[in-house]
């Protein structure tokens, strides 16, 4: 069959000059099959059938042309437009060719964006599938803040340690790195821990807080400084609450407050930061801090002692300071030797100032002095001269104050100061003699037999018989005796100055500070005021 078709196609091609390609159409192939399969009779009828078919088609075309002429017109117009567009198409193609690089770039960008979107969608899908596992990790910052706010620092430290391990296990996850280096919550916890050290914290709490700070990566040396600084702030806050009207009450409360807090601070420090040698010299930071605290104590104590005017206030404060020094001595810092000189200097200053005030205020009244009689007791004997009585009362006041705080190292110096004051008073009496011999002689008698023995006896008891040079008073005493005898006084008792032995007065009574001062206190001031009024008149 194929050979017959080939021969027929060759014959038709030679006779009609048709192109061989036209015979490749399916419709031509079907028609050739129809011809080759027909007999001779059918072949003879074929031209007539073709003619009839052609007429039929022409009739259909004519009908279609009449009925569908509008479509033909539109088709013609469209054909003309298409033909016109094809004429300008080369120019448009040139312009399109110019935009091809930009179009390619846009396509590449679109492709890249598409790939990113695909990757994002892939990640979102992965996150969606692992949401149950990711949700606890995403809640770590909120959970950390909640733990810190509620004071659960142990759990917070464990959670922080967990977040620090995540970047090690998953090094390519930026979220874990950001979570590990988050500082806001850590700073909040650090601030709260430091605030706890700044408050009234006991040893167990201090140990826990320092443990937390160590786990946060703070060096031990820094922790020591921070601990001492914050506890010192707490100490200052307690000292700022000390409010007393009287200076001595203020100093006592201030010392007691600092003693309790500083001793606790040193104890806590040595418990938290143990030292193998157990000596304060091996802890330079603690030693420097305690030295600073003691310097503050010495400053407060020095300000008080400079203004102190009453020796009786010193014993209680001295006892408190000594106990303070003994307590710190167990920690290796006994500051008591530094304080002793301050109290001694204050005692010396007060006594000397009071003796100077006696010398300065001693003024013999111009009023007539009544002559003592033999039947008078010690108190009445001194009351004959208000000036001597007031002076005696001042001497006894000094000696009574020294009984509360007898500084043994000052005994020789104070005894000498008393003798110098008595010598000065005696000289003042002798200087008054030319102005009023009678009164001067009586006052000399009262001074020699009343005031001088009582003061010397008081010195002997209060100052424990401190060795004193009485040579300066011997000549003055002889002159006073002569002045008293010149007035007719025949029973002036002997005062053995050299041996500090006081004989009996004119009534046979031994004069002491305790016998006289209690009974004359109520009468001295009234009689002194009467003498002053007489003098003014």
pLDDT tens-digit series, residues 460-476 = 787 765 545 555 565 56
Distance, in Å, from the CA atom of 304 to the CA atom of 316, rounded to the nearest integer, reads: 13
CB of 390 within 8 A of CB of 528? yes
DSSP 509: P
Asked whether the predicted pLDDT for residue 534 surpasses 60, the reply is no
pLDDT at 331: 72
Distance, in Å, from the CA atom of 229 to the CA atom of 223, rounded to the nearest integer, reads: 10
Distance, in Å, from the CA atom of 301 to the CA atom of 338, rounded to the nearest integer, reads: 12
pLDDT tens column, 27-77:
777 777 777 777 888 778 888 888 888 898 888 888 888 888 888 888 888
Return the SS3 of 435. coil
CB atoms within 10 A of CB 71: 11
CB atoms within 10 A of CB 414: 25
* Distance (Å) of CA 489 to CA 23, 131, 442, 486: 185, 121, 8, 7
500 confidence band (pLDDT: 50, 70, 90):
very low
Distance, in Å, from the CA atom of 427 to the CA atom of 436, rounded to the nearest integer, reads: 15
Highest-pLDDT range among 283-287, 372-376, 445-449, 460-464:
283-287
122 vs 431, higher pLDDT: 122
pLDDT at 165: 83
492 confidence band (pLDDT: 50, 70, 90):
very low
Residue 496, beta-bridge partner list: 501
Worst-scoring range by mean pLDDT, 149-158, 162-171, 364-373, 408-417?
Answer: 364-373
Distance, in Å, from the CA atom of 212 to the CA atom of 193, rounded to the nearest integer, reads: 8
Distance, in Å, from the CA atom of 354 to the CA atom of 356, rounded to the nearest integer, reads: 5
Closest CA to 400 of 304, 310, 325, 486: 310
Mean pLDDT score across all residues of the chain? 76
Closest CA to 397 of 361, 357, 354, 453: 354
The pTM assigned to this predicted structure is: 0.60
pLDDT tens column, 188-221:
888 888 888 888 888 999 999 998 888 888 888 8
pLDDT at 506: 32
Asked whether the predicted pLDDT for residue 280 surpasses 60, the reply is no
pLDDT at 176: 75
283 vs 47, higher pLDDT: 47
pLDDT at 113: 92
Return the SS3 of 147. helix
pLDDT at 153: 84
- Exposure of 86 by Cβ count < 10 A (0-12 exposed, 13-18 middle, 19+ buried)? exposed
Closest CA to 317 of 255, 231, 365, 368: 255
Distance, in Å, from the CA atom of 196 to the CA atom of 148, rounded to the nearest integer, reads: 13
Return the SS3 of 495. strand
* Distance (Å) of CA 300 to CA 138, 229, 248, 289: 57, 20, 11, 17
Query: pLDDT exceeding 70 applies to what percent of the chain?
Result: 75
pLDDT at 69: 80
CB atoms within 10 A of CB 275: 13
366 vs 459, higher pLDDT: 459
Distance, in Å, from the CA atom of 407 to the CA atom of 345, rounded to the nearest integer, reads: 10
DSSP string, 411-471: HHHHHHHHHHHHHHHHHHHHHHTTT-HHHHHHHHHHIIIIIHHHHHHHHHHHTTS-----H
487 confidence band (pLDDT: 50, 70, 90):
very low
1 confidence band (pLDDT: 50, 70, 90):
low
CB of 387 within 8 A of CB of 358? no
pLDDT at 254: 92
DSSP 391: H
Distance, in Å, from the CA atom of 45 to the CA atom of 35, rounded to the nearest integer, reads: 11
Supply φ then ψ for residue 275, to 5 degrees: -115, 125
Closest CA to 424 of 460, 452, 396: 452
121 vs 361, higher pLDDT: 121
CB of 497 within 8 A of CB of 474? yes
Distance, in Å, from the CA atom of 385 to the CA atom of 436, rounded to the nearest integer, reads: 14
Tell me the domain boundaries of the chain.
23-67, 136-218, 234-334, 350-536
Supply φ then ψ for residue 171, to 5 degrees: -70, -20
368 vs 518, higher pLDDT: 368
pLDDT at 473: 61
Query: pLDDT exceeding 90 applies to what percent of the chain?
Result: 4
* Distance (Å) of CA 450 to CA 29, 45, 370, 424, 513: 173, 190, 15, 17, 11
Highest-pLDDT range among 271-285, 363-377, 506-520:
271-285
Contacts 24+ apart (CB under 8 A), 285-292: 285/221, 285/224, 285/225, 285/228, 286/224, 286/228, 287/333, 289/228, 289/232, 290/262, 290/266, 290/328, 290/331, 290/333, 291/333
């Amino acid at each position: 069959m194929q050979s017959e078709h080939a021969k027929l196609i060759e014959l038709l091609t030679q006779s009609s000059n048709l192109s061989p390609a036209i015979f490749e159409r399916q419709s031509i192939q079907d028609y050739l099959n129809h011809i080759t399969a027909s007999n001779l009779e059918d072949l003879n009828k074929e031209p007539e059938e073709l003619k009839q078919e052609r007429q039929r088609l022409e009739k259909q075309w004519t009908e279609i042309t009449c009925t569908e002429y509008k479509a033909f017109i539109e088709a013609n117009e469209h054909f003309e437009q298409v033909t016109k567009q094809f004429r300008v198409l080369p120019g448009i193609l040139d312009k399109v060719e110019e935009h091809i690089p930009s179009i390619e770039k846009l396509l590449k960008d679109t492709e890249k964006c598409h790939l990113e979107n695909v990757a994002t969608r892939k990640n979102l899908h992965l996150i969606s599938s692992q949401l149950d596992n990711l949700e606890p990790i995403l809640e770590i910052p909120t959970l950390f803040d909640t733990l810190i706010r509620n004071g659960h620092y142990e759990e917070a430290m464990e959670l922080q340690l967990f977040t620090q391990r995540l970047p090690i296990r998953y090094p390519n996850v930026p979220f874990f790195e950001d979570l590990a280096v988050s500082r806001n919550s850590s700073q909040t916890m650090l601030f709260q821990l430091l605030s706890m050290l700044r408050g009234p914290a006991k040893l167990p709490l201090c140990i826990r807080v320092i443990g937390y700070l160590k786990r946060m990566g703070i060096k031990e040396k820094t922790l020591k400084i921070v601990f001492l600084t914050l506890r010192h702030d707490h100490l200052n806050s307690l000292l700022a609450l000390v409010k007393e009207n009287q200076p001595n009450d203020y100093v006592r409360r201030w010392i007691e407050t600092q003693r309790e807090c500083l001793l606790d601070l040193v104890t806590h420090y040595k418990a938290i930061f143990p030292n193998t040698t157990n000596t304060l010299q091996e802890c330079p930071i603690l030693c420097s801090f305690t030295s600073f605290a003691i310097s503050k104590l010495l400053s407060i104590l020095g300000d008080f002692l400079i203004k102190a005017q009453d020796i009786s206030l010193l014993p209680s404060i001295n006892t408190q300071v000594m106990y303070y020094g003994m307590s710190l001595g167990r920690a290796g810092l006994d500051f008591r030797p530094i304080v002793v000189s301050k109290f001694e200097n204050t005692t010396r200053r007060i006594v000397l100032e009071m003796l100077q005030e006696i010398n300065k205020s001693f003024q013999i009244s111009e009023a007539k002095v009544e002559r003592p009689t033999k039947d008078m007791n010690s108190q009445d004997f001194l009351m004959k001269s208000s000036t001597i009585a007031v002076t005696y009362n001042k001497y006894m006041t000094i000696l009574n104050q020294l009984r509360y705080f007898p500084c043994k190292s000052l005994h020789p110096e104070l005894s000498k100061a008393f003798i110098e004051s008595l010598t000065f008073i005696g000289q003042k009496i002798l200087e008054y003699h030319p102005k009023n011999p009678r009164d001067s002689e009586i006052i000399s008698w009262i001074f020699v037999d009343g005031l001088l023995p009582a003061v010397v006896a008081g010195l002997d008891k209060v100052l424990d018989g401190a060795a004193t040079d009485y040579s300066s008073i011997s000549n003055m005493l002889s002159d006073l005796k002569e002045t008293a005898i010149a007035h007719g006084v025949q029973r002036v008792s002997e005062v053995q100055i050299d041996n500090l032995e006081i004989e009996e007065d004119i009534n046979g009574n031994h004069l002491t500070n305790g016998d006289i001062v209690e009974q004359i206190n109520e009468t001295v001031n009234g009689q002194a005021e009467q003498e002053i009024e007489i003098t003014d008149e």
